[in-house]
Amino acid sequence: MTKISEIEAYILGKEVTSAQWASLMVLVRVTTNDGRVGWGETVSALRAEAVANFVKKINTVLKGNDVFNVEKNRLEWYKHDFNMTISLESTTAYSAVDIASWDIIGKELGAPLYKLLGGKTRDKVLVYANGWYQNCVKPEDFAEKAKEIVKMGYKALKFDPFGPYFNDISKKGLDIAEERVKAVREAVGDNVDILIEHHGRFNANSAIMIAKRLEKYNPLFMEEPIHPEDVEGLRKYRNNTSLRIALGERIINKQQALYFMKEGLVDFLQADLYRIGGVTETKKVVGIAETFDVQMAFHNAQGPILNAVTLQFDAFIPNFLIQESFYDWFPSWKRELIYNGTPIDNGYAIIPERPGLGVEVNEKMLDSLKVKGEEYFNPEEPVWVVKGTWRDY
């Protein structure tokens, strides 16, 4: 039996007092009694310390358990945390522990995770660029940056053109958003996919007006067009536009994912491995999605460990669409933390082949990266905004 001896959380970052997007990450390390180490990652945005504290509680519950018993271990945590399935902090903390457990399992068996889950369906993973439009405000800003992305080899790019509008959007806001999207479409041509990020911040009427303005630019999908809790608003949106809907980053269990699919409210599911229960639960969600002919486009906006485990899933799932990637726009220390182990080549990520998650963590960096606290709080720009875009021109 490979017993869990310690589960630890590290809040890591550099330049935490700056407004740099994704300046923090919460890294989770699981160590076993025979010296095996596995790595996971969990959410940071405005809740890093709370999630790190949940990891400590999970350590109390799971210490001494067999790391291979991922289903039993989940049930054990669920038994003790009465609110797990309705708590982001609890579920995301456990997700990281589950990911780290599978990292250990892969290392113990000498195989990358994708081989344990079903083998390869593809040798490389088509990705779309995100994070590329920092400080873009005017349409020409978006256009020039978009041209650079295409020159880097990307075949798809996502962006949020809506500036500071929240819940409602005015005619001025619609005009500006359309000008930005039109500029990007003209800059990249018709053979590059554009994906429109809404960040789940509009009511149904505003989102429908947006859709009617932007449908002529042929977006691959509209991401989270409606507030995530507004199911009736999403239904209204579905009935008033033919544009395809992507959502799911804020879903925290398979039952929630099933609801959206049964109701026919999602075309592309953006489940996030560090929010929905890690490897163990994500594999179930992928299977459910396959039965509904829903393709997977995993949310992947945090750090290098989440990126690595997500690529392992992309390698084997049959219902794959495209993968979000911030990799080229990570702070450099995030790439260095895994020895630049998942680079992008001409718009594709190559699947890492090392045992476990496929990447090695540079533990020598940890002491210099440890910080306390949360991301820099800017009252003028929420932490989920790509830096410098929360304004009109």
- What residues act catalytically? 199, 299
**Which residues in 221-252 are b (16+ Cβ under 10 Å) and which e?**
bbbbbbbbebeebbebbbeebebbbbbbbbbb
Write out the DSSP string of 56-68.
Answer: HHHHHHHTTSBTT
- Are residues 337 and 361 in contact, defined by beta-carbon separation less than 8 angstroms? yes
Structural tokens at position 11: 């809040």
Looking up tokens 């195989």, which residue turns up?
Answer: 111
| 195 bridge partner residues | 158
- Are residues 107 and 32 in contact, defined by beta-carbon separation less than 8 angstroms? no
User: Measured between alpha carbons, how far is residue 40 from residues 97, 112, 309 in Å?
Assistant: 6, 15, 9
| CA 365 to chain CA centroid, nearest Å | 24
Helix orientation angle between 304-316 and 88-109, rounded to the nearest 10 degrees: 70
Helix (H) or strand (E) holding 295: strand 295-296
Helix, strand, or coil (residue 180) = helix
- Are residues 167 and 173 in contact, defined by beta-carbon separation less than 8 angstroms? no
User: Measured between alpha carbons, how far is residue 388 from residues 161, 209, 300 in Å?
Assistant: 12, 25, 21
Helix, strand, or coil (residue 246) = strand
- Are residues 39 and 100 in contact, defined by beta-carbon separation less than 8 angstroms? yes
| CA 261 to chain CA centroid, nearest Å | 19
User: Measured between alpha carbons, how far is residue 196 from residues 17, 140, 181, 211 in Å?
Assistant: 30, 17, 8, 10
Q: Rounded to whole angstroms, how far apart are CA atoms 41 and 273?
A: 9
Sheet strands (E) in 183-284: 193-197, 222-223, 245-247, 268-269
Cα radius of gyration (the chain): 20
